[in-house]
Chain A
Amino acid sequence: MEARSIWERMMRIDRRILYVILAVNIIAALMARVAIEPDVPPPVKRFYDTVEALQPGDMVMVSSTWSAGTLAENQPQFEAVLKHLMRKRVRFTIISFAPPARDISHRLARRIAEENGYVEGKDWAHFGYTPDIIIAIKGMSEDIVQTIRQDVRRVPIADLEVMRGVKSLKDYKLVVDVTPSDTLGNWISYRPPDLKILYCPTSVMAAEAYTFLDSGQILGMITGAKGAYEYERLLGIVGLGTRFINAIQFSHVLIIFFILLGNFGMLMQRRASAS
């Protein structure tokens, strides 16, 4: 009887106990100074190579639709991408299609720009929030000044030094879509044909993007905080991805352990019932 109850307990651990164990695991992993070199997957490598191939002065659009909810996944990506762009001395503009995304991305970009000697208006700009992504992409594909009109500081786009010689999205080399939602389909459908796309989704949304990677409609992808960690290793920097990776991987190990434990309990209980 007692043996059976052990297996039953193993199969039905109270979820509150599981949550406490996970919380302790994450806290311990965040504090641990374990560094494991990753196997950088091809989509991340291609992402890095595409940005690395840019020349100083090239224009890049960073589409930032993430907000506080997906901070842990999108912020590491966003920061790493901006640092890489600044390292390559390319010009970039940021646009947001969700209201909270505007302030978060603007503040982060300002902080990173100051650290890297980038001047807002001269080297980069933030176009603020635009409600309709389809209208925005179609409009920007024709005329950015008419579509956006002013940046987030209410400076007219036409007056920004960063926009010199840039009339539309056709003058951009690349768009980097950092998003937790399905904005990618809109970028693929409505962008100018020669505009390349790089994708930074949350881990959950990444599954949808492999078809586009396969067809070449997106050139590279970094997936969540884990992808940001791999990207940071390629860049040789320590960012949020590097700080979060231990929490991610040890949580995965914990989940696998408890899945196996639950199955072991189930099998032993079946055997005990049979006997």
Chain B
Amino acid sequence: MLFDTTQLVVALLWIAGAFALAIALIPLLGTLPPRGRFALISFVTFIAGLFFAAEFFLPVGEDNKNILTDPFQKMQGSLQVITALSLGLGTYGLVRLHLRNAVQRRPQWGYSLVLLVAFVVMAFFSIWNTMAEKGLFGIERTQLLENAFTLLFDYTLIQLDATMFSLIAFYIFSAAYRAFRIRSIEASILMFTAMLVMIGIVPLGKLISDSIGLPAVQTAEMRTNPFMLENILYNLRLPQIAGWIQETLNAPVQRAIEFGVGIGALAMAIRLWLSLERGIN
């Protein structure tokens, strides 16, 4: 049984009520003057943001929850519903565009046709597969479904995904060849750093360092006497240099950028919450 009857009725009543409320609200919003609309939207935005902010700042009990924590988790669940609805809208837009291209034989309509056929076939077998997995409506897995799903998922989707990712290897090759030139001091630093890290992180870096006679192991004596020659030579090994660049150079810069980004995001969130951000309104 897919749903309990009572649950189904309750769910349908909720959905009908939400529709009725939305249908009533839209004309109401239309009758308001622009300033009134803006005030109403700002108010709703503020209350919604206040809810999340209050949940963070209110003290919690032994169970690490306050009065708003459980509704907060339900709210997050409702965001998933909005995401699912907007996915339907996006899919509709996509199919509409390509259907029109194919029907009206617009330029490159062949690609649109391929998309539509792939969309329908993949959706059909995916939905069938999910229903068979969950045993919905008595649907079972058949050999046709197994073969089709294996062909579409394992032999097509996975391979296409992996192929697109592997394009990056080729693209980074051409991008590095083109961009890493000694045009300026900064470009030179970028180039040399990249080369050091590239060779240092792979086993060849160790092989090169060993072959030129650099100490392979850091002994206890070297650790206690960091300025002794063997320790300096050990730290000139390519893997050590690459590790130093990644951990000691990269990490502080990363933190610095993250500070800025975090503060910027917080400032933007405050502006949106207080409706001070007019950008996309």
Contacts and interface: CB of A to CB of B under 8 A. Distances in A.
Q: A and B touching (C-beta < 8 Å)?
A: yes
Contacts of A72: 162, 165-166
B181 A263 contact: yes
Interface in B238-263: 239, 243, 246-247, 250-251, 254-255, 258
Contacts, number: 133
A67 to B, nearest CB: 7
A224 to B, nearest CB: 10
Given A226-B202, A252-B198, A266 B162 contact: no
A22 B170 contact: yes
Contacts of A213: 247
Given A36-B204, A249-B204, A211 B80 contact: no
A41 B174 contact: no
Mostly, the A contact residues are helix
Interface in B173-209: 173-174, 176-178, 180-182, 191, 194-195, 198-199, 201-207
Nearest to A103: B153
A229 B201 CA distance: 12
Contact of B195 (A19, A211, A259): A259
B170 A19 contact: yes
Interface centre among B165, B177, B250, B254, by most chain A C-beta atoms within 10 angstroms, is: B177
A266 B255 CA distance: 36
A164 interface: no
Contacts of A19: 170, 173-174
Given A37-B203, A37-B206, A263-B181, A67 B161 contact: yes
A131 interface: yes
A39 B251 contact: no
A214 B251 contact: yes
B96 interface: no
Contacts of A119: none
A127 to B, nearest CB: 15
A258 B181 CA distance: 11
Contacts of A267: 182
A70 B258 CA distance: 25
A43 to B, nearest CB: 9
A254 B181 CA distance: 16
Interface stretch (A56-64, A76-84, A87-95, A132-140): A132-140
Interface residues of B, number: 50
B7 interface: no
Contacts of B251: 210-211, 214
Given A252-B198, A255-B176, A256-B198, A207 B205 contact: no
A18 B175 CA distance: 11
Main SS class of interface, B: helix
Interface string A245-275: 1001101111110110011001100000000
Interface string B64-80: 00000000010011001
B102 to A, nearest CB: 27
A15 B174 contact: yes
Interface residues on A, range: 35 or more
Nearest to A152: B133
B66 to A, nearest CB: 14
A38 B134 contact: no
B77 to A, nearest CB: 7
Contacts of A255: 172-173, 176-177, 198
A67 B161 CA distance: 8
B53 interface: no
Interface of A: 13, 15, 18-19, 22-23, 26, 36-39, 41-42, 67-72, 100, 103-104, 131-132, 134-135, 138-139, 154, 206-208, 210-211, 213-214, 226, 229, 245, 248-249, 251-256, 258-259, 262-263, 266-267
6 contacts: A69-B164, A226-B201, A229-B203, A259-B177, A262-B178, A262-B181
